[in-house]
Amino acid sequence: MSHQPPGGSQDEMLAVDGVSVWLSGREILHDVRFTLRRGEFAGLIGSNGAGKTTLLRVILGLQAPSSGTVRVNGQPRSLRPSMIGYVPQKILLDPDMPIRARDLVGLGLDGHRLGIPLPSPGRRKLVDEMLQAVGADRFGDARVGNLSGGEQQRVLIAHALISRPRLLLLDEPLANLDIASEQDVVTLLARLAKEQQIAVLISAHEMNPLLPVMDRVVYLAGGRAASGTADEVVRSDVLSKLYGQHVDVIHVHDRVLVVAGRGEVLGATHPDISVHREDPEIPRENHGISPEEPGASPDDPGASPDDPGDPGASREDPGAGREQQTGSRIVGSV
How many C-beta neighbours within 10 Å does residue 120 have? Answer: 9
pLDDT of residue 255: 76
CA distance 197 to 133: 14
Nearest Cα to Cα of residue 85 among 74, 75, 72, 76: 72
Bridge partners (DSSP) listed for residue 325: 328
pLDDT of residue 262: 59
Identity of residue 306: D
Bridge partners (DSSP) listed for residue 170: 87, 202
For the chain, which ranges sit under pLDDT 50?
Answer: 1-7, 263-334
Angle at 208 between CA 233 and CA 136, to 5 degrees: 125
pLDDT of residue 34: 97
Q: pTM of the prediction?
A: 0.74
Q: How far does the chain reach from its first CA to its final CA, in angstroms? A: 27
What percent helix, strand, coil does the chain show, rounded to 5? Answer: 25, 25, 45
CA distance 103 to 250: 46
- Asked if 207 and 256 count as a contact pair (C-beta separation under 8 A), the reply is yes
How many C-beta neighbours within 10 Å does residue 10 have? Answer: 9
Nearest Cα to Cα of residue 258 among 246, 270, 266, 269: 246
Burial class (CB in 10 A: 0-12, 13-18, 19+), 278: exposed
CA distance 53 to 175: 14
pLDDT of residue 184: 93
- 3-class SS of residue 46: coil
- Asked if 255 and 208 count as a contact pair (C-beta separation under 8 A), the reply is yes
pLDDT of residue 113: 52
pLDDT of residue 300: 44
- 3-class SS of residue 275: coil
Superfamily of domain 12-73+166-332: P-loop containing nucleotide triphosphate hydrolases (3.40.50.300)
CA distance 172 to 56: 11
